[in-house]
Every structure is written in structure tokens, then in C-alpha cells.
Amino acid sequence: MSQEQTEPRPVAELSYEEARDELVALVATLESGRSGLEESMRLWQRGEELAAHCTTWLDRAERSLGEDGSDDDGSAQDAEQD
């Protein structure tokens, strides 16, 4: 009987928190040094995808916050003064 390896969920389906948590676990696995070269390369590629996904989420959040009337330093802009 062969051992089946379940495919991870597609990165695009993950929330920011799910992607971040998986990335943290993946980095810990890579840092442990217990994976072979082929597995490490597969994990690295998945990590790159997760990191890009997290960056996309953060960029969208930043743009959204920028649209709410905040200036570059994050403080609310003053209402029009007469």
C-alpha cells in the first residue's frame, strides 16, 4: 500500500492568517534541517507562494486604509477648514 500525500490547499484560497500560519510552520520545518533537498525545494517554492499571497493581502489592506481619508503617516486628515 502506498502512502498518499494530500495536496495542500491552493494558496489563492487561503486567508491571510492561514497563509501566514502555514508560512511560519514551513520556515520552522526548513530551519530544522530535517528535510532532504527535494523536499526543501518543494517547501521553499510553497513558501514563496505563501509570502507573495500575504504581501498581496497586506498591499490591499494598505490601499484600503489609504482610501479612508488617512494621510501617509496614518493620521486622519483634518476636515476642510473655513
Find the length of the chain.
82
The C-alpha atoms of residue 46 and residue 62 are separated, in whole angstroms, by 24
The C-alpha atoms of residue 30 and residue 26 are separated, in whole angstroms, by 6
Classify residue 75 by burial, with Cβ atoms within 10 Å: 0-12, 13-18, 19+. exposed
pLDDT above 90 as % of the chain: 70
Amino acid symbol at 37: L
The C-alpha atoms of residue 4 and residue 25 are separated, in whole angstroms, by 21
Structure confidence at residue 5 (pLDDT): 63
What is the rounded average pLDDT for all residues in the chain? 84
